[in-house]
Chain A
Amino acid sequence: MATWIEACGADDVDAEDVIPFEHDGHPYAIYRSPADDYHATDGWCTHEQTLLKDGLVMGHIIECPKHNGRFDYRTGEGKGAPICVNLRTYPVKLEGGTLYIDVD
């Protein structure tokens, strides 16, 4: 069962950037790619306790602000040291200028 939660407006996040979103005490990160598609992942890096919201988005990569661990935010795949664990991703949908994420 999908649990769609309203996360933000489509324009709240710039192209090639990330913003934080919290639901039920759980942090998420919401991305808008250079081609304007949207993605969502867990808010915490998988390396240490750092939120990805201050990280740099380049293309389809989010780079953790702490030790520059990298992930493909579309798939959550870790891209080398120091990351050993992939990032969990969540489905998103855009409806009438509002972005929803399936937190299930």
Chain B
Amino acid sequence: MASVTEDIVIVGAGECGARAAMALREQGARGTITLVGDESLEPYERPPLSKAALTDDREPSPVTVCDRARFAHLDIAFERGVAATMLDRTAHDLVLADGRRLHYDKALIATGARARVLPVAGGHSILTLRTFTESVALRSRMTPGARVGVIGAGFIGLELAASAVTRGCQVTVVEIAASVMARVVPAEIAAIVEARHRDAGVDLRLGTGVEHVEHVDRPRPAQRLVLDDGTTVDCDVIVAGVGAVADSAVAAASGLTIDNGVRVDRYLRTDDPDIHAAGDCCSFPHPLYDDRRIRLEAWRNALDQAAVVARNLLGADEAFAAVPWFWTDQYELGLHIAGLPDAAVTNVVRVRADGATLLFGLGADGRLVAASGVAQGTAIAKDIRIAEMLIAQRTLPDPSALTNPAVTLKSLLV
């Protein structure tokens, strides 16, 4: 039986691990809390790395989730710059790469995800973006006039493209799918974002992959992207945004089940009752989607799971059921998504008086399962937030009410 006096270790000091450590104390944990992170910085926010950290005029500094003073105040031990190797489940020890062992009663794995590396010949010079250091390196290469090649037109790739344009770079985006953000965003919304990029002068090469990368000296020294369709793009810097893979190395070394990341149940527990996992690294069954197993790479999910897993580590049995929610900023546009668009069988569109477009996804039973929209800044946020509540309430809205902008979404809440 869990109790508030147990000793807890957290592996991974990112968004989720750091938030969980703070939440544990706020929930009354009285045992030791040790947060182990392999990065040398205090836990920081990743979303700005592809946005403000690249575009701001002043040199970026990390936006911290929790600083040293707060850790001290909350009596959280922070072991930074050291990797954990495995959880010795028999001894109940966390083994660190420097040989130390930390005893635990309960452990949380929050090791996040790593940027996928593109397996192409000559690709060793391709940059990726997951850490603050990588963002700083990229920024120094995004000088005005620089030829920037972005591989992948997912969220990160497109945010990078928008940031590079803002910095005065000449940007080409190469994407193997036929449209941008094809995996997760409904076509109507993707088309708006795609048009904005073309407007900004981005050279979008859709439906073609990268064959290989070579160094050329003529006409100017460049990293040349040779594409599947035979065309080439000469670049000063190439960055890939081709997705991320769950970091499940510690879980795997500890003998836990891996299934698109660390496999957890609805309480965010692994198959060892003393070990939980949360954030980008775990896959979990979602009760709003027939317990379909999903893994999210989303900021709010890391926060929401941190709060629930903290309570469960202290003995609660709270099923995680938050509606998935994601946002991305590109240029002046803010795109927000609630729910799982791919769970929809039909979509209905609402065009607001201000021209903003919202798309509602309905499941086979007519239930609202997703909503997405794009508008200037945060103008779409409120509607998506209300849609999120409608999704959580499992509402069966009248499609004509959804399409009619005269009907306020708030009035559909039960």
CB-CB < 8 A to B306: which residues of A?
Answer: 81
Q: Give how many A-B residue pairs fall within 8 Å (CB-CB).
A: 37
Contact B303 A81 (CB under 8 A): yes
Per-residue contact bits, chain B 378-414, to A (CB 8 Å; 1 contact, 0 not): 1101100110000000000000000000000010000
A interface bracket (residues with beta carbon within 8 Å of B): 10 to 19
User: Hey, which chain B residues are within 8 Å of A68, CB to CB?
Assistant: 300, 325, 385
Within the complex, the shortest CB–CB distance from B295 to chain A, in Å, comes to 21
Task: Give chain A nearest CB distance to B3 CB in angstroms.
Answer: 24
A67 and B385 contact, CB distance less than 8 A: no
Whether the pair A54, B378 counts as a contact (CB closer than 8 A) is: yes
Report yes or no: B23 in contact with A65, Cβ–Cβ below 8 A. no
* CB under 8 Å from chain B, chain A span 53-87: 54-56, 63, 65-68, 81-82
State the majority secondary structure of interface residues on B. helix
Contact of B381 among A16, A65, A81, A82 (CB under 8 A): A65
Majority-rule SS of A interface residues: loop
Asked whether, in the complex, the Cβ of B303 is within 8 Å of the Cβ of A54, the reply is no
Judge if A51 is at the interface, Cβ distance under 8 Å. yes
Q: List 13 A–B pairs whose Cβ atoms lie within 8 Å, in order of A's numbering.
A: A16-B410, A48-B63, A54-B378, A54-B379, A55-B381, A56-B382, A65-B385, A66-B378, A68-B300, A68-B325, A81-B22, A81-B307, A82-B65
Whether B385 and A81, one on each chain, are in contact in the complex, defined by CB atoms closer than 8 angstroms, is no
Q: Which chain A residue has the least Cβ–Cβ distance from B379? A: A54
Task: Tell which of A48, A50, A65 touches B382, judged by Cβ atoms closer than 8 Å.
Answer: A65
| Other-chain contact of A63, B23, B303, B377, B385 (Cβ < 8 Å) | B385
Residue of A whose beta carbon sits closest to that of B23: A81
Separation of A65 and B334 alpha carbons in the complex (Å):
10
Nearest 8 CB-CB pairs, A to B?
A65-B381, A65-B378, A54-B378, A56-B382, A56-B385, A54-B381, A81-B303, A54-B379
Q: How large is the interface on B (under 10, 10 to 19, 20 to 34, 35 or more residues)?
A: 20 to 34
B304-345 interface bits toward A, Cβ cutoff 8 Å, 1 = contact, 0 = none: 001100000000000000000101000000000000000000
**Interchain nearest-CB distance for A44 vs B (Å):** 12
Q: Give Cα A51–Cα B381 distance, bound, in whole angstroms.
A: 12
> Is residue B19 within 8 Å, beta carbon to beta carbon, of the partner chain?
yes
A10–B389 Cα distance when bound, in Å, is 29
Once the chains are docked, how many angstroms separate the CA of A82 from the CA of B45? 11
Q: CA of A56 to CA of B286 in the docked complex: distance in angstroms?
A: 26
| Complex CA distance for A48 and B327, rounded to whole angstroms | 15
Does B289 count as interface, using CB distance less than 8 angstroms?
no
Contact between A81 and B377 (Cβ–Cβ < 8 Å)? Answer: no
Judging by beta carbons under 8 Å apart, are A67 and B300 in contact? yes
Least CB distance from A23 to B in Å reads 21
Indicate whether B299 reaches chain A with its CB closer than 8 angstroms: yes
Taken together as a complex, chains A and B put the C-alpha atoms of A56 and B381 apart, in Å, by 8
A65 CA to B65 CA, complexed, in Å: 19
Tell me, rounded to whole Å, the shortest Cβ–Cβ distance linking B297 to chain A.
16
Chain B residue numbers with a CB within 8 Å of A81 are 19, 22-23, 303, 306-307
Nearest B-chain residue to A16, judged by Cβ:
B410
Chain A, Cβ-Cβ closest to B336: A65
